[in-house]
Amino acid sequence: MKIAIGADHAGFEYKELLKKHLEKNGHEIKDFGTNATQSVDYPDFAHPVASAVEKKEFELGVLICGSANGVAITANKRQGIRAAICWMEEIASLARQHNNANIVCIPARFVSIDLAEKITDKFLSTPFEGGRHETRVNKISC
């Protein structure tokens, strides 16, 4: 699967570890930054990831920041994006199954890297159920 990934300074270390984990599992990854732990503005990385997913250049996206709120809010400004903050595997599964989320947002300051890997794996491997959920998802865009 082709995955777009990005993070701010608070998510940088998790991004680097998640990249390795995903590549080891056969995914093709494009890193949209940041590339250090120096303070940066999360929209500078969330917008390019969201844009690439919206344009279907990548199947899904992963965004990481301290709380996941900043990157999720930013990504969700795009019409074709459904970015979900996920702090446990079940939330990631439901975000895909029921909401057809296309970007998972990880709160690095609130989950372990082991859990972040599990959340990301669950998100990437769970299909959208469609059906009654598709009707609802189709009502999201303005």
> Hey, which residues are catalytic here?
65, 98
Model pLDDT for residues 66-75, shown as the tens digit of each residue? 999 999 999 9
Model pLDDT for residues 73-122, shown as the tens digit of each residue? 999 999 999 999 999 999 999 999 999 999 999 999 999 999 999 999 99
What domains lie within the chain, and their CATH numbers? Answer: 2-137 (3.40.1400.10)
Q: Tell me the C-alpha to C-alpha distance, in Å, between residue 26 and each of 29, 51, 83, 104, 117.
A: 9, 23, 23, 18, 14
pLDDT for the residue numbered 142:
79
